[in-house]
């Protein structure tokens, strides 16, 4: 089962991949990348400033000893990260 959030997060990367992220005042360390994909924004429906990609990462991460699965999104146009989904 998963939950959808869409919360802004702060993320740090290493070698172009998320390494750590701060969500709801807790620091998570990425243990493993499970999946990664990129989508292009629909350029015909956006303004020129909205062009860019959305990069998705499904990761195993932990704030302490319990590992969870999280889906993160990075938007190149806004230079922002979101917590999209968390699996139980």
> What residue ranges do the domains of the chain occupy?
2-87
Per-residue pLDDT, 46: 59
Written as one string, the DSSP assignment of 5-72 is EEEEEEEEEETTEEEEEEETTEEEEEEEEEEEEEEE--GGGS-GGG--EEEEEEEEEESSS--EEEEE
Per-residue pLDDT, 36: 98
Per-residue pLDDT, 18: 98
Quick one: which of 84, 34, 37 has its CA closest to 59?
A: 34
Residues with pLDDT less than 50, the chain: none
pTM of the entire structure?
Answer: 0.87
């Amino acid at each position: 089962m998963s939950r959808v959030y869409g919360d802004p997060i702060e993320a740090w990367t290493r070698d172009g991949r998320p390494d750590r992220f701060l969500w709801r005042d807790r620091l998570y360390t990425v243990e493993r990348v499970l999946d990664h994909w990129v989508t292009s924004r629909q350029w015909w429906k956006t303004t020129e400033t909205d062009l860019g990609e959305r990069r998705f990462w499904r990761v195993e991460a932990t704030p302490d000893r319990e590992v969870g699965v999280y889906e993160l999104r990075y938007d190149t146009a806004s230079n922002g990260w979101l917590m999209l989904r968390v699996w139980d």
